[in-house]
Amino acid sequence: MSEEWLEVGSVRVPLDEVVIRVRPSGGPGGQHANRSATAVDVSWSVRESTAGSARWRARVEERTGGVIRASSSRFRSQWQNRRAALAVLEERIGEAAREETPRRATRPTRASATRRTDEKRRRAETKVTRRRPLAEE
């Protein structure tokens, strides 16, 4: 992560497209509570972005709904929370942008087909032995 953009694979998302908001962290109080806005919320709108190709943005938008959000309030420092939230945002964009390899249909091997039919035969024999004997005439 640079100070000017988020690097997602080969695509650079400019930081000026990322909305960064700060707010007071929740949790127990103390002298520091209710004074410092240290929690950070970040969001990035795919629709309004110029990053990447149109196809890349369409794939990300389809998987995320158009806006990706992240937040951090783990640290007491706003600067550390900002870095953590941007790192999570970068990771989420990367997950949404990942191209999935299409599944190739394969045939079962001869050995697996044989194992399957052998197991079916054994199971059928077990059930036959559990049946009530036929009444003699």
Q: What is the pLDDT of residues 45-67, one digit of tens each?
A: 888 888 878 888 888 888 888 88
Measured distance CA(71)–CA(40) in Å, rounded: 5
Which pLDDT score, from 0 to 100, does residue 109 have? 95
Taking alpha carbons only, the member of 3, 20, 4 closest to residue 89 is 20
Question: What pLDDT, in 10s, does the model give residues 76-96?
Answer: 888 888 889 988 988 888 888
How confident is the model over 31-46, as a mean pLDDT? 79
Q: In degrees rounded to 5, what are phi and psi of residue 50?
A: -110, 0
Q: Is pTM beyond 0.95 here? A: no
DSSP codes joined into one string, 49-117? --SS-HHHHHHHHHHH-SEEEEEE-SSS-HHHHHHHHHHHHHHHHHHHHPPPPPPPP-PPPHHHHHHHH
Question: Is domain 5-97 in CATH 3.30.160.20, yes or no?
Answer: yes
